[in-house]
Amino acid sequence: MIGTRRTLFSRRHAAALLASVLAVAALGPAAAAEGQLRIAKQFGVVYLLLNVAEDQKLIEKHGAKAGLDIKVEYAQLSGGSAVNDALLSGSIDVASAGVGPLFTLWDRTRGRQNVKGVASLGNFPYYLVSNRPEVKTIGDFTDKDRIALPAVGVSVQARILQWASAKLWGDKDFARLDKISVAVPHPEASAAIIKGGTEITGHFGNPPFQEQELAGNLNAHVVLNSYAVQGGPASSTVLYATEKFYRDSPKTYTAFVDALAEAAQFITDNPETAADIYIKSNASRIDRDLLLKVIRNPEVTFKIEPQNTIGLGQFMHRVGVIRSEPKTLDDYFFANPRIATGS
C-alpha cells in the first residue's frame, strides 16, 4: 500500500509541477519594462494581499496616478524552487515565496542579478501539524513518517524545520528531518492530513490549510509553531525581485508597493470582504467562518514592513547553506520608505 500511496502522491505532485511550468511558460521571458508586471503567487491566505490587489485593481490604480497603464499578469506556482527558477529565467518580475527562498536567491545572485526583497505579505504563524497522536514534538517523528512541505530543504517551512532541528539536536544535525520530508502542494498535503491513512503524517503548511486540518481531523494537532522557532511574530512570506526590475521600472515598482500597502489596509478594515475575495480568487471551498477566524487571528498582521526576518538568514549562514551573512535589512531588501521600519 505504501508504494501505491507514494505513486499517487508522486503523480499528483508531478501534475502540479507541470501546471507550474506551463503557467510560467505562458508568461514567457522578457526584459523588465515600465508598465509591465508579472507576479508569481502561491497557495494560501498568506497571499491575500495579492488577491486583494488583483481583485480591486490596486496596482493599475496606483500606476494610473503615476501616468502608467500597468499590465499585470499572475502565475500560480507551488514551492520556492519553482518561483526562484521563474524569477531567474526572466519569466516573472516579482516572486512571492518564503523568506528562506529569498535568502537563498539573495546569496546566490550577489554581484549578478542582485535579488532582494520588495515587501512582506504579513505576519502569519505557520504550524507543523501531525495526525499521528504519538508525535508531540519534532523529535517523535520516525523514518516511517513523511512531512509534507512546499519544497524540501528550500521552502521557508523547510528552513524553519531545519532551524528547529538545530536547536534540538545541534547545528551539525540541522538537516536531520530532510530525509523524511516530501514536496507536496499545500492543498494536497492538507487533504492527506485530514483524510489520514497515507504516508503523509505531518504537514508544515500555512493558513488556511493548517486550520482546516485542525478542524477536519480529530487527531490533528500542532507539533511546532514557526513563531516559537523565530522568537516571536515574523514575516515568513515575502515578495522579491531582481535589481534590474527595481532599477529599470521605478514607477511600476513604486505603484506595486503602494498598492500592497493599500491592500493591507483594506484587509484590516474589511475582513469580511477580504474573505469573499479570497474565496472567489482561489475558487476555495473553505468554510467562510473558519477563513474569517484565520484573517482575524490576533497572531496575524497584514502589513508590508518585514518583521523579524534576519534571524533565519543568520541561521542559514551559520550552518553553511548560504555564504553571505545578512546583517541589516538593507542587505537583502531594496530601499523603500514604506518598509524602512522593517526588521
pLDDT digits 0-9 by tens, 180-210 = 999 999 999 999 999 999 999 999 999 999 9
Among the three residues 230, 256, 287, which one is the final residue of a domain in this structure? 230
Which of 178, 204, 230 terminates a domain? The answer is 230
Torsion on CA atoms 86, 92, 93, 94, rounded to nearest 10: -70
Q: Which of 106, 32, 105, 117 is nearest to 73 (CA)?
A: 32
Are 191 and 253 in the same domain?
A: no
Question: What's the whole-number average pLDDT of the chain?
Answer: 91
Query: Would you say residue 74 lies in a domain?
Result: yes
pLDDT at residue number 21: 43
Per-residue pLDDT band for 42 (boundaries 50, 70, 90) equals confident
Compute the average pLDDT of residues 105-134: 97
Same domain, 242 and 328: yes
pLDDT band at 82 (very low <50, low <70, confident <90, very high): confident
User: 230, 248, 277 — which closes off a domain?
Assistant: 230
Q: What is the CATH number of the domain that holds 171?
A: 3.40.190.10
As a whole number, mean pLDDT of residues 166-184 equals: 98
How would residue 32 be classed by pLDDT, with cut points 50, 70 and 90? Answer: low
Same structural domain, 159 and 134: yes
Q: Are both 21 and 76 inside the same structural domain?
A: yes
The answer to whether residue 1 is domain-embedded is no
What pLDDT does residue 193 have?
Answer: 98
Residue 17, pLDDT above cutoff 60:
no
Total count of domains within the chain = 2
Question: Are residue 21 and residue 119 in the same domain, yes or no?
Answer: yes
Reported as a pLDDT band with limits 50, 70 and 90, residue 25 is very low
Res. 27: pLDDT tops 60: no
Average pLDDT for 97-125: 96
Kindly state whether residue 4 falls inside one of the protein's structural domains.
no
Parent domain of 293? 11-123+235-339
Same-domain status, 79 and 151: no
Which pTM was predicted? 0.87
pLDDT band at 78, cuts 50/70/90?
Answer: confident
Is 153 a member of any domain? yes
- DSSP assignment of 9-60, as one string? HHHHHHHHHHHHHHHHHHH------TTEEEEEE-SSGGGHHHHHHHHTTHHH
Flag whether pLDDT at 22 surpasses 90.
no
Residue 224 burial by CB count (10 A; 0-12/13-18/19+): exposed, middle or buried?
buried
Whether residue 258 is found in the same domain as residue 176: no
With a cut of 70, say whether residue 11 has pLDDT above it: no
